[in-house]
Chains A and B, each alone.
Chain A
Amino acid sequence: MSRTLSNPPSVELLSAVSTFLINDIAPQVNGQSAFHIKVACNILNIVAREIENGADLNESVCEALSNILSDQKTGSDEAQDLQSLKAELSEVIKNDQIKNNAELLDALKMLTLKQLAIDNPKYSGYHQALKSNER
């Protein structure tokens, strides 16, 4: 859930900017600028999704990465941020210290799906992965 510090909520501010770009600016431009308006709206949508779900994502991904790390090797159990957890797991893989490759791939798939739900939930590979999970 997004926390509203003031009104309108930030997600609605972003939506107002998107609507303005699409309805008022896009019809007046073409070529490269029209393409860049699409890119700009995509960026605003990413930010909106991140405001709504980013905190949850960060927390659950950090927890899952910590679990993977403690499953795969014995190490420090200190709380770490996302980047350093990724770096630590990368190091474990690089050094061939992975015990169960299939389990690791499954866990990483779950994390990537959560990240994609923010970055680009329309992506074909995202839907392909969701479909293969249903099987």
Chain B
Amino acid sequence: MNAPTDTLIDNSLSGYLERLQTCCRKHFGSQVEVQNLSKLSGGASAETRRFILSDPNKRSSSAVILRTSSIQQGAEFSTSISKDCEAQIQKLCRSKGVPVPEIYFCLEEDDQLGEGYAMSCVEGETIPPKILRKDQYATARENMTDQCAQILANIHKIKPNDTTISLEDQSPLIQLEKLEQLYRQYNQLSPIFELAFKFLYKNAPKKHEITLVHGDFRNGNLVVNEQGIKSVLDWELCHWGDPIEDLGWLCVNAWCFGSELPVGGFGSMDALLERYSYYSGQQVDLEQVKYWQLFGTLRWGIICLFQLNCFLTGLNRSLELAAIGRRVSEVEIDLINLMEAL
């Protein structure tokens, strides 16, 4: 989803602001003040708030993002890692040169603010149609394929042995089985989805590297300014797996917003592969990327079915979810176009 987020004054919890202020003073000193607290988004898995932390002594103020686990009861498509784990992964990636917001602190139980962490607020654009169409991002678009390749290569240099952080191991077959299980629950059978499952089971990579995988690396989770990518967001789906999964997901047509360029709507696949091989020192097979592109497209299709199901069962009657069921045919034509070219 790429709905613009509103700045809504958050008053859902009484005393929230006071507790947040107490917490910030614990980390930054008794002089700091929390101002302009607003809720940016609330989903099934996470809530994001923004505030200004001002320090009258230093005459400085900076924008801070607070990400916490959702207190909403609701269905979730994928199992997200804990917020503590998310913070640790971001710290690790930052130390390896990946552009991610700086983690300031993790919430503790006696803060009474839930589970989560505070991080720097990186200013920039995240809405793909704006990034893809506005003149001010023309230079950014030229740089983004190279930047994606470099960022992904750096993420993928992190191996299970490099850290004590515990993440799920998600090989392609494990993921496929989970996806199929979900798909069959929704009772919206599609012969085209079946064909894609068949192909993906049959052609699953038998041997692959196991590295850190971001899991949701796409146009929409990239903070962009005039020069290009400033920061990578939304680490809650990261796992150990085949690194090429991230490359394929980045090339799913749903993130291209009408552009013919398959890499997030801003780059060619040849350029992505060439730059990724350069930064990672690994030769990447085009077939492998296409495998994961088809995988990602099917995954997006099943996310659409999941959201359709949330609408049909009355769990969420929002306008966006009402419309998303009709996007299944978009996914079907994407799957056909990809399977024809295999």
Of B194, B253, B319, B333, the contact of A90 (CB 8 Å cutoff) = B194
Contacts of B322 in A (CB 8 A): 43
- B260 and A124: CB pair below 8 A? yes
**B3–A35 contact, CB under 8 A?**
yes
Q: A36: CB under 8 A from chain B?
A: yes
Q: Is A70's beta carbon under 8 Å from chain B?
A: no
Please name all residues of chain B whose beta carbon is closer than 8 Å to the beta carbon of A93 when the two chains form the complex: 191, 194-195, 198
Contacts across chains A and B counted by CB atoms under 8 Å: 102
| A115–B333 CA distance with the chains assembled, in angstroms | 10
Q: How far is the CB of B324 from chain A (nearest CB, A)?
A: 9
The answer on a CB contact under 8 Å between B260 and A35 is no
Q: Which residues of A contact B197 (CB under 8 A)?
A: 94
Q: Is the CB of B3 within 8 A of A120?
A: no
Asked if A109 and B336 make an inter-chain contact with CB atoms under 8 angstroms apart, the answer reads yes
How many residues on the B side are at the interface (Cβ–Cβ under 8 A)?
A: 34
Question: A109 to chain B: which residues have CB within 8 Å?
Answer: 333, 336, 340
Contact, CB under 8 Å: B332 / A112: yes
A72-97: which residues lie under 8 A (CB-CB) from chain B? 83, 86-87, 89-90, 93-94, 96
Chain A count of residues within 8 A CB distance of the other chain: 38
- The listed residue (A32, A39, A86, A125) touching B6 by CB distance below 8 A is A32
Closest CB of chain B to A125's CB: distance in Å? Answer: 4
8 Å CB contact of B333 from A32, A34, A96, A129: A129
Query: Cβ of B323: which chain A residues have Cβ within 8 Å of it?
Result: 39, 42-43, 46
Which residues of B does A touch, CB under 8 Å? 3-7, 189-195, 197-198, 253, 256, 258-260, 319-320, 322-323, 326-327, 329-330, 332-334, 336-337, 339-340
Chain A residues in the interface with B (C-beta under 8 A): 31-36, 39-40, 42-43, 46, 83, 86-87, 89-90, 93-94, 96, 101, 104-105, 108-109, 112-113, 115-116, 119-120, 122-126, 128-129, 132
